[in-house]
Structure 1
Amino acid sequence: MSNESGNGRNGRAAGRPRGNEPRRNDQGRQRNRGGSTPRRYSEAAPSSRKRAADPARLAAFEVLRAVSADDAYANLVLPARIRAHRLDTRDAGFATELAYGALRGQGLYDAVLARCVDRDLARLDAAVLDVLRLGTHQLLAMRVPNHAALDETVALTRAEIGAGPSGLVNAVLRKVSARSLDEWTDELTAGVADETARTSLRHSHPEWIVRALRQALVAHGRGTDELELLLDADNAAPIVNLVALPGLGDLAPVVERGAGPGSLVAGSALYDGGDPARLPGVAEGTVRVQDAGSQLVARALAEHPLEGRDERWLDLCAGPGGKAALLAALAAQRGARLTANEIAPHRAQLVRNALAAVPDTAWEVEVGDGRRFAGIEDGYDRIMLDAPCSGLGALRRRPESRWRKQPSDIPDLTALQQELVDAAVAALRPGGLLAYVTCSPHPAETTAVVLDTLSRHRGLRLLDSGAALDAAALHPVDAATPVLGRRGEVLAGATTAQLWPHRHATDAMFLALFQRVEG
């Protein structure tokens, strides 16, 4: 196995001298002749050190390099690297935990490394810093023996970066291994007076995100005592969620391969058996990887009762196509047609790929700015607006995003969200339904947008979004939040709905379901 491979498997290379016996190479030359205590740059003697990188660790390293050097997304890079290195199920799981865990823990691990490196981390070569993060995660948070973590990380450094930095990597990781994760965390937070700063370090989230999530819990009717549970859920590896497209997909062969039925949404399954691309139906697109929260908000829009015509559906910001595929499959069953719009041509192609399994009589893809739909003739019956957002609700699935986002991103996003809502309202027929959805619980992107929307559009009514979510779920999910008006009054019959990783095992999806009541 990759976590116990090479010389690290037994903790001592074959033929290595014991105790204080002289160390000699194959030609009989003695090593470390300068003193009685041999220097230890690695667990293995140079003649028997590994020169090749373990494939699972190499895949994880390549993911971190793509993320840090190319601004890539780990969830897009990792599957390709797993296939490129022909990793079996167990090694693929190891590579996934190593890459994602190192990215999630980057804040805490960098604080540990700063105590163990004799220079500013910014002065280290970026590739060396990435390999140190991988080694630190193995030592502090994985069930990898210390000797295996050290030897394999040094071998990876030697093979992929060069022999020069391998001594530094070995020395630094030996210092890291001197304490457990809890001991390091206690040491790092001991002198920190500010609670938010301590929580940020302990749970490896930027301070501004800790503050935002605390505010979000309160804004959506939860207690601040849930904050650490939420942060822990962000740091836990999520199980793969699957959906069978209605009328097209079949979960029975997937269950035969070890998947279990989903407990939240009909037609869903949970899978932790390796690369889901190998499952029946996934390659064909009739079974898809999709978070249960995304499935649920799409079904809440599609299944809510609607008077009058129900033929024209719109997904205003459809890329990369997950919700669009589910909506199109549901539309096909009802004789409706979905227009899936995406502003970026390359993402529009992803939408086409996602929709390919659905009969093309049920959908079309358009490329352009969603705001152009304002005032379109003969408006739409159901509109999904999955608005561009900060993505703070999907930190567990996109581990690198917590280090990329900035609080300064929020104002521009909320301005765009309001403009897209205005366009969606204008494109909605009287009596039609609009689902405003974000993968963020941030109050500025959720409750504030809802109140601003209601104040600007008098002919729009906020429905009981929590009840709509419950009706689409297999059981009540208890996600409703009462909405207060500008004067502090509770709006009768109106709620928003907020899902949470720590309560529902989903991304933190937000839903506000509106109905246009006037022309």
Structure 2
Amino acid sequence: MTRPAKRRPARRQELDPARRAAFDVLRAVAEQDAYANLALPAMLRERGLHGRDAAFATELTYGTCRTRGLLDAVIADAAGRPIDRIDPVLLDLLRLGTYQLLRTRVEQHAAVSTTVEQAGIEFDTARAGFVNGVLRTIARRDERSWVDELAPSMSTDPVGHLAFVHAHPRWIAQAFADALGADAGELADLLASDDARPEVHLAARPTALTAAELAAQVHGTVGRYSPYAVYLAGGDPGLLAAVRDGVALVQDEGSQLVARALTLAPLDGADGGRWLDLCAGPGGKTALLAAMGQAAGVEGVRVTAVEPAPRRADLVEENTRGLPVDVIRVDGRDPGFEPGFDRVLVDAPCTGLGALRRRPEARWRRKPGDVPALGRLQRELLGSAIRLTRPGGVVLYATCSPHLAETVGVVADALRRHPVRALDARPLFDPAEQLGAGPYVQLWPHRHGTDAMFTAALQVG
């Protein structure tokens, strides 16, 4: 009598290419401090993913990065343990599965089974069982039910409630509410705009082609405010011929408006064409400034671009090739230049809270303790810019953050310490409206569709 053959355990099914790409980017973000918006497009190209697979990988990657705080709260509750007691690789798998369950139309069985299978491949049967139990607990309820149970009360902590609902750290939501001031009732709309996938903005290089010509080439739409802006619904802009040929740049419309504002600011005396970009990397604003100076016919215009970081300085040189730009690799706080610049841009290093929609993992990477050190650097750079500007010249101070300590706080310090006066910057951003009470300008993604750029224009006495 022959014995029946032993059945081999079924081989576990690895993640499909789209989910695999998303998972690998999540691991790169966690282990290597990678930027999802840079790592994912490179990975999609490398692995030949396009169409629906690329779209699904993008949704899973950016969505999971953006909503990490909400996902972690749900996972911790369902697992009955804090997330710091869950293996980091297992936690990223749980985040990926939980995002599919709560925020996509993926069938529950597919979201759970693919995640459990990968947990078995990465670890063992026991931990695959743990993932299965957690996800099945999560799947019994929808997102609204989880939010109702876990979010702070709207009546006692409205900022905390909205921060939880829209997956932002509470301190960032509070900073936004403070910056909105009397318009803090718009906080929910602002937080929601951070969760929406932004359009790609291009800038047509002046003298090379118009925005209308660029829009026709790339099947885009001419922007609302900047005369150089074109909007794209999606796709990889690095594949566009206009971008590869250097006649267009990937640049948020808010950044375009900041560069344009510097060229429009009124000077006392003639413009000698000696312009300075004190924080130039990666060079988008520098390139636009130089091209606008040429297009406006400013005689002898030349932009000095300061960037101490080697890789970023290389990017400035690459992005400004063929333009009247000198790239100098020094610290902008003490560059050793002869004073006398007509126009100076200080697009200062900042927390980047105004660009969270484009950098989905940044909201969880930044900490309140980052603000004081950046504030000191911002004050030092602005002080240096003022010293380098001739009497009657203009310094434009800008940050991609609305945090008051990085915006009005820095400018108020400059007004106390240096011989400068604030100009009304709002006319420099025409035709944009709802820019704030002045004299400074605050752009908002929920109002203008741009990053939350702050700008102050200071004239040196």
Which of 130, 134, 152 aligns to 2:114? It is 152
The one-letter amino acid of 1:277's match is G
Which residue in 1 is equivalent to 2:313? 348
Deviations 1:323-374 (A, max 9, x none): 1121122234334111111121122112222223xx14x0111111101147
Deviations 1:243-278 (A, max 9, x none): 111122565465354322212211211112321222
Whole-angstrom distance in 2 between the partners of 1:247 and 1:320: 21
Residue 434 of structure 2 aligns to a residue whose secondary structure is coil
Q: Does 1:138 align with 2:131?
A: no
Matches within 5 A, 1:59-458: 59-158=21-120, 165-189=127-151, 193-218=156-181, 222-249=182-209, 252=213, 255-306=216-267, 307-333=269-295, 334=297, 335-356=300-321, 359-360=322-323, 362-373=324-335, 376-458=337-419
Whole-angstrom distance in 1 between the partners of 2:122 and 2:233: 30
Q: Percent identity?
A: 48
The one-letter amino acid of 1:154's match is V
Residue 429 of structure 1 aligns to a residue whose secondary structure is strand
Whole-angstrom distance in 2 between the partners of 1:100 and 1:476: 29
Whole-angstrom distance in 2 between the partners of 1:110 and 1:71: 19
Q: Is the Cα–Cα contact under 8 Å of residues 328 and 337 in structure 1 kept in the other structure?
A: yes
Whole-angstrom distance in 1 between the partners of 2:46 and 2:345: 37
Post-superposition shift, 1:183? 1.0
Post-superposition shift, 1:28? 8.7
Whole-angstrom distance in 2 between the partners of 1:104 and 1:439: 18
Deviations 1:473-499 (A, max 9, x none): xx23220423xxxxxxxxxxxx00000
Q: Is the Cα–Cα contact under 8 Å of residues 221 and 232 in structure 2 kept in the other structure?
A: yes
Whole-angstrom distance in 1 between the partners of 2:166 and 2:398: 27
Q: Is the Cα–Cα contact under 8 Å of residues 204 and 214 in structure 2 kept in the other structure?
A: no
Which of 431, 439, 444 aligns to 1:500? It is 444
Residue 459 of structure 2 aligns to a residue whose secondary structure is strand
Q: Is the Cα–Cα contact under 8 Å of residues 112 and 135 in structure 2 kept in the other structure?
A: yes
Deviations 1:79-115 (A, max 9, x none): 1111112111332222222111111111111000011
Residue 132 of structure 2 aligns to a residue whose secondary structure is helix
RMSD of aligned Cα (Å): 2.3
**Stretch moving more, 344-353 or 419-428:** 344-353
Residue 243 of structure 2 aligns to a residue whose secondary structure is coil
Whole-angstrom distance in 2 between the partners of 1:365 and 1:240: 27
Q: Is the Cα–Cα contact under 8 Å of residues 355 and 452 in structure 2 kept in the other structure?
A: yes
Relative distance call for 1:269 and 1:152 in structure 2 (3 A) is: farther
Which residue in 1 is equivalent to 2:428? 468
Q: Is the Cα–Cα contact under 8 Å of residues 282 and 313 in structure 2 kept in the other structure?
A: yes
Residue 399 of structure 1 aligns to a residue whose secondary structure is coil
Relative distance call for 1:253 and 1:466 in structure 2 (3 A) is: closer
Whole-angstrom distance in 2 between the partners of 1:163 and 1:352: 53
Q: Is the Cα–Cα contact under 8 Å of residues 272 and 301 in structure 2 kept in the other structure?
A: yes
Whole-angstrom distance in 2 between the partners of 1:237 and 1:325: 26
Which of 419, 437, 442 aligns to 1:481? It is 437
Unmatched segments (≥5 aa) in structure 1: 1-26, 32-45, 483-494
Whole-angstrom distance in 1 between the partners of 2:433 and 2:373: 32
Deviations 1:429-487 (A, max 9, x none): 122111100011111111122222111123x12111011111xxxx23220423xxxxx
The one-letter amino acid of 2:185's match is D
Whole-angstrom distance in 1 between the partners of 2:361 and 2:404: 22
The one-letter amino acid of 1:287's match is A
The one-letter amino acid of 2:99's match is H
Relative distance call for 1:500 and 1:281 in structure 2 (3 A) is: same
Residue 231 of structure 2 aligns to a residue whose secondary structure is strand
Which residue in 1 is equivalent to 2:460? 516
The one-letter amino acid of 1:74's match is A
Relative distance call for 1:200 and 1:96 in structure 2 (3 A) is: same
Whole-angstrom distance in 2 between the partners of 1:145 and 1:310: 64
Relative distance call for 1:158 and 1:242 in structure 2 (3 A) is: farther
Q: Does 1:58 align with 2:4?
A: no
Whole-angstrom distance in 1 between the partners of 2:381 and 2:21: 39
Residue 334 of structure 2 aligns to a residue whose secondary structure is helix
The one-letter amino acid of 2:305's match is A
Whole-angstrom distance in 2 between the partners of 1:399 and 1:235: 8
Q: Is the Cα–Cα contact under 8 Å of residues 250 and 281 in structure 1 kept in the other structure?
A: no
Deviations 1:15-50 (A, max 9, x none): xxxxxxxxxxxx89799xxxxxxxxxxxxxx74x76
Whole-angstrom distance in 2 between the partners of 1:128 and 1:353: 40
Relative distance call for 1:312 and 1:149 in structure 2 (3 A) is: same
Post-superposition shift, 1:158? 4.5
Residue 178 of structure 2 aligns to a residue whose secondary structure is helix
Q: Is the Cα–Cα contact under 8 Å of residues 499 and 508 in structure 1 kept in the other structure?
A: yes
Deviations 1:278-299 (A, max 9, x none): 2221222322211111111111
Residue 407 of structure 1 aligns to a residue whose secondary structure is coil
Whole-angstrom distance in 1 between the partners of 2:153 and 2:388: 56
Whole-angstrom distance in 1 between the partners of 2:209 and 2:310: 28
Relative distance call for 1:378 and 1:447 in structure 2 (3 A) is: closer
Whole-angstrom distance in 2 between the partners of 1:476 and 1:79: 32
Unmatched segments (≥5 aa) in structure 2: none
Q: Is the Cα–Cα contact under 8 Å of residues 13 and 114 in structure 2 kept in the other structure?
A: no
